[in-house]
Amino acid sequence: MSQPVLEARAVSKHFPVRTGTGRTAVVRAVEDADLVLRPGRIVALVGESGSGKTTLARLLARFYPPTTGEIRLRGEPVQGKDRAYYRDVQLIFQDPFGSLNPLHRVRYNLDRALRLHHGIRAKAERERRMVELLERVSLTPAEQYLDKFPHELSGGQRQRVVIARALAVEPKVLLGDEPISMLDVSIRLEMLNLLDKLRTEDGLALLYITHDIASARYLCDDIVVMYAGRMVEGGPKEDVIAAPQHPYTKLLIESSPDPERGLDDRDALFDEAADDLGEPPSLIDPPAGCQFHPRCPFALDVCRTEVPPRTELPNGQWTHCWLHQEGRAGDLTAAGAARSTEKENS
């Protein structure tokens, strides 16, 4: 496996906030997270809203320094000027409507990127590079797009411009924070295909953040699941989806719409979800032990007090769950396997 380009090692991010009583508290947005991005590989980060995905991406993009832990670029802890760092790492935002300044033409965006990072003086040269960039993101004929304003472009086209702008820097790592969730359903796949192309053609390392586990499976190589600021499980995508090793991953996969499950007995399909699991925990005052224990059907006593350590599985999968430490992983897989075999047979 290739060397990691970008790594997060045991990073945490705590945001100080003012609570109602006027005292300051901290939001533990990310707690003790590890992440490795390698050239030519795509890691998907899934988790529900507020689980800290964006925070982690922004930590990797050096929007703010981690509270603890460190970010390493090519094995070196990062320091110094942001601009040098941004030559290697670029972030793509969720909202293609928001990440382009409506007052600037496409040309301006690309031009600034080229000037800032490559210092190209010659106008013709920059022009050539811009056209090239737009062609790489399949905006053709490129010349026609250069002088458009964002509002003259559709959502998909805008997101392509955003990607082109990020690519202008010639980064090694691309962080995509839900890059398709605001796009129309019908054009999402094109965007995923574009990202996939960039990965294979340019050997970019990609972080793909999403809510949608199905699209994660479509695009990525590895999946990492976050819950309430912590990473609960990760590993090769098919393994994680076929055999989730954490109760939360299991719940997430089961809750995702999947028409293939069969449409015959609809009520039965939903029935298992009917029992109320409650809400995700507050990050200001997270539950002790495993964050998931209040909602976990398998919760043990130890789950309520101790943070579960990492369990590595032979297939590269890993999880933070006491079931594994206590030798009761079977509880989980038994139920999961039963279901998935059932599916395969049908």
Partner 1 sequence: MRASRRWAFLVRRLGFYLAAAAAAVALNFLLPRLMPGDPSSAIVEELERVSGQQVPAETLMSIRAIFGNPSDNLAEQFVDYLRQLGHFDLGVSVVNFPVPVADLVWQALPWTLLLVGTTTVAAFAIGTLLGVVAGWKAGSRFDALLTPFTTFLSSVPYFWVALLALWVFGFVLGWTPLSGGYDADLPQGFSFAYAVSVLHHGALPAATIIISAFGGWLLGMRNMTVTTVREDYVLLAQAKGLSPGRVMLRYAARNAMLPSFTGFAMALGGVVGGALLTEIVFSYPGIGYLLYEALQKRDYPMMQGVFLLITLAVLLANLVADLAYVVLDPRIRARG
Partner 2 sequence: MITDSALAPVSSATGAGTTVLDVRGLTVDYVTGDAPVRACDDVSFTLRRGEILGVAGESGSGKSTLITALTRLQRPPAVTTEGSIEFHPKNGAEPIDLVGLTPAELRSLRWTSLAIVLQSAMDALNPVMRVGAQFVDALRSHDKRLGRKEAWAKAAELLGMVGISADRVRSYPHELSGGMRQRASIALALACGPELVVMDEPTTAVDVVMQRQILAQVLRLRRELGFSVVFVTHDLSLLLELADRIAIMYAGRIVEIGTSAALYADPLHPYTRGLRDSFPPLRSPLRKLTGIPGTPPDLRNPPPGCPFHPRCADRFEGCDQEQPTLLTIAGHAVACRLHPSGDDRP
Partner 3 sequence: MRASLLTSWKVRFGLGVLGLFVLLAIFGPWINRVLLGVDPRANDIGAIASPPSTAHLLGTTQFGQDVLAQTIAGARGSMLVGVLAAGIGTLIAIAVGVPAGYFGGSVDNALNFLTNLFLVMPVLPLILIVAGYVQGTGMWVIALIIGLFGWSGGARTLRAQALSLSSRDFVLAMRMLGEPHRRLIFCEVLPHLSGWISAMFLHGMIGGVLAEAGLAFLGISDSGSISWGTMIQSAQQQSAVLRGFWWWFVPPGLCIALIGTAATLVNFGVDELSNPKLRLARRSVVARTRRAPRPATAGGETR
Ligand X SMILES: Nc1ncnc2c1ncn2[C@@H]1O[C@H](COP(=O)(O)OP(=O)(O)OP(=O)(O)O)[C@@H](O)[C@H]1O
Binding interface with ligand X (CB under 6 A) = 15, 17, 27, 29, 47, 49-55, 283
Residue 185 contact among Mg ion, ligand X, partner 2, none, beta carbon within 5 to 8 Å by kind: partner 2
Which residues, 6+ apart, have CB-to-CB distance to 106 below 8 Å? 134, 145, 146, 147, 148, 149, 150, 153, 161
Question: CA-to-CA distance for 187 and 109, rounded, in angstroms?
Answer: 23
Q: Are 13 and 59 in contact (CB under 8 A)?
A: yes
Interacting residues toward Mg ion by CB under 5 A = 54
For position 159 contacting partner 3 by CB under 8 A, the verdict is: no
Give the separation between CA 78 and CA 88, rounded to whole angstroms.
Answer: 11
Question: Per CB under 8 A, does 151 bind partner 2?
Answer: no
Single-letter amino acid, residue 272 = E
Q: How many residues bind partner 2 (CB under 8 A)?
A: 48
Confirm or reject binding of residue 161 to partner 3 (CB under 8 A).
Answer: no
CB of 113 vs partner 3, minimal distance in Å: 5
* Backbone angles phi and psi of 189, in degrees to 5: -65, -35
Exactly one of 134, 162, 192, 228 binds partner 3 (CB under 8 A); that residue is 162
Query: Helix axis angle, 247-255 relative to 329-345, nearest 10°?
Result: 20
Q: Quick one: what does residue 54 bind among partner 2, partner 1, Mg ion, none, with the CB cut-off 5 to 8 Å set by partner type? A: Mg ion
Residue 333 binds partner 2, judged by CB under 8 A: no
Give the β-pairing of 68-73 and 76-77.
Answer: antiparallel
Of the candidates 227, 236, 250, the one whose C-alpha atom is nearest the C-alpha of residue 317 is 236
Q: CA 268 to CA 266: how far, in whole Å?
A: 5
Which of 33, 130, 169, 213: binder of partner 2 (CB under 8 A)? 213
Binding site for partner 1 (CB under 8 A): 18, 20-22
- When asked if residue 54 is in the footprint of partner 3 (CB under 8 A), the reply is no
Site string for partner 3, 76-105 (x = CB under 8 A): ------xx--xx--xx-xxx--xxxxxx--
Instruction: Write the DSSP string, 293-314.
Output: GGG-TT--TGGGTSPPPEEE-T
Backbone angles phi, psi at 304, to 5 degrees: -80, -15
Cα–Cα distance, 87 to 250 (Å, whole number): 38
The yes or no reply on residue 266 touching partner 2 (CB under 8 A) is: yes
Type of residue numbered 287: P
Q: Which is nearer to partner 3, 194 or 243 (CB)?
A: 194
Binding site for partner 2 (CB under 8 A): 48-49, 154-157, 184-190, 193, 211, 213-215, 217-218, 241-242, 251-261, 263, 266-267, 269-271, 273-274, 276-277, 279-280, 340, 343-344
Binding site for partner 3 (CB under 8 A): 61, 63, 82-83, 86-87, 90-91, 93-95, 98-103, 112-113, 116-117, 162, 165-166, 169
